[in-house]
A and B are shown apart, each in its own frame.
Chain A
């Protein structure tokens, strides 16, 4: 059980980090678009 739990979280946490990272990047890009195109 613990091993199973660990393996899922170690691999999936990277996928989750990727999704949240992509969102963060989009917000930063959108922020600069807003700033420079007005």
Chain B
């Protein structure tokens, strides 16, 4: 399946970036050089670094699959992001720059007290520490399933490669490598896009392909419903998405560290604006790649179940016949749909086209029902097989239909994305442990060299810990889901505390801490009600609930307490 050419492209790309990053950046003499990259970064490096940290491998595996499965509505999730970039650039960034902080949490001690700083830094370390392992594990499990690679070796190899350059060069190495990794990622996706278009039937133009995708419900970019249970709508994107983006980019050290490395306030701001302008089009493009894969599979028979090795396992059980019956149904239905679509694309008569479109839509619905039946069967009867096969769609397409060399390049895209996110996370975990805990709580003052050496050891230890989490991830059921939820469980509270710090001068340290604890409890209660199916609330709303509760409770306590000495708060600079 993978030829020597693919291996050469894959390993050549990965090792060239790691080697160059390590060679170019291993000269930091003090902690500012190591943790803030010596403030040398231009705006485009800051912008690319921000995008590369957020875009993990799973973004490039799951997003096209999601478009194939349910259309482009996921793009709405990113609508809050540009607004968040503006708010962070106007209010958060000047404050971080003025206080010359290394971490976002350092600011909280300045504004409140040490307890609030340690509380938020601790929440960050817990959630991000686990997430870094999953950033390595999630793509490794998919690649190892489809390619038959050893999962443990993959986890260790990717983890070690990231450790090499992140320990050696710190933030400077992370940003430099992320720039080239982003170039590989976007270059690879653009090449894939044109190759998919090239494989569509010659008589089908790009416009016809979009029209066909729209007819079958895949161009559903905007959902104006106000339904809270629906995960991706215009409303949830602009509100929940805004709060999530504010928390992630404004208070998560793995992002804050990226823009604090900018040459000046202006370069950091422009880096954030770069992300604000290009993020939505980038996600649109990745979803469009998935939609084109969907169109391709209207003319070429797709697997009924994309997890191929999972299918093989089902066929070894006593439920094989039941599965094969469903697969026959799927194949017959596909053939009927394909013929209808071919007629539809050739016909000029409006009435005929309308009738054929309706027929194709009905057959598409039937196809989705059969796929759902297959997943239910496997879930019930062969529970050790992963049934969420949408993550396997894009890679299955790449492996079966793209030329050799390009397959190697796209595997490099996925592993580059995995490494760029993990590097940003390890770098931030080490900074927070070093600056907010070790240096702050250690009575002795350290020399520049000692600080750099300690930071390097902390980066190494967090790297080893991430590999450990990645290696044990397969032993824990639903760990990926847990980690995804974990972010939303804490982000709202952390953002609430930061908003109090920035915008509400009458709120003091004690109110912030009490409100933080109550806010966190409120989110956990909502989550428990969700788990026990008392309510049905999308995870995005946790951010809004946590943040809103913290701010309201703090204001309430502050107003009951009456006037007090004012704390220093935000003024623009």
Contact = CB atoms under 8 A, between A and B. Distances in A.
Given A4-B573, A9-B572, A16-B89, A23 B280 contact: yes
A12 B75 CA distance: 27
A30 B85 CA distance: 21
Interface stretch (B23-31, B100-108, B211-219): B211-219
B220 interface: yes
Contact of B222 (A12, A15, A16, A34): A34
Contacts of B220: 34, 38
Interface in B57-79: 75, 79
A22 to B, nearest CB: 6
Contacts of A15: 269, 273
B277 A19 contact: yes
Nearest to B281: A26
Contacts of B217: 38
Contacts of B276: 19, 23
Nearest to A23: B82
Interface of A is mostly: helix
A30 B572 contact: no
B86 A20 contact: yes
Nearest to A17: B86
A5 B82 contact: no
A7 to B, nearest CB: 11
Contacts of B215: 37-38
Interface residues of B, number: 29
Contacts of A1: 573
Contacts of B281: 26
B409 interface: no
A33 B82 CA distance: 21
Given A37-B210, A37-B219, A19 B75 contact: no
A2 to B, nearest CB: 10
A29 to B, nearest CB: 9
Given A5-B573, A37-B211, A19 B221 contact: no
A27 B73 CA distance: 12
Contacts of A18: 277
A31 B222 CA distance: 6
Contacts of A12: 89-90, 269
B222 A30 contact: yes
A21 B217 CA distance: 28
B387 to A, nearest CB: 29
Given A26-B280, A38-B214, A33 B219 contact: yes
B360 to A, nearest CB: 13
B426 interface: no
Contacts of B537: none
Contact of B277 (A8, A22, A37): A22
Contacts of B89: 12, 16
B235 to A, nearest CB: 12
26 contacts: A5-B571, A5-B572, A8-B572, A9-B572, A12-B89, A12-B269, A16-B86, A19-B82, A19-B85, A19-B273, A20-B83, A22-B277, A23-B83, A23-B280, A26-B284, A27-B234, A30-B221, A30-B284, A33-B214, A34-B222, A36-B214, A37-B210, A37-B213, A38-B214, A38-B217, A38-B220
Interface of B: 75, 79, 82-83, 85-86, 89-90, 210-211, 213-215, 217, 219-222, 234, 269, 273, 276-277, 280-281, 284, 571-573
Given A4-B573, A31-B222, A37-B219, 5 more contacts: A1-B573, A19-B276, A23-B280, A36-B214, A38-B217
- Which 10 interchain pairs have the tightest Cβ spacing? A37-B214, A30-B221, A37-B219, A23-B82, A19-B276, A16-B86, A34-B222, A31-B222, A34-B221, A19-B82
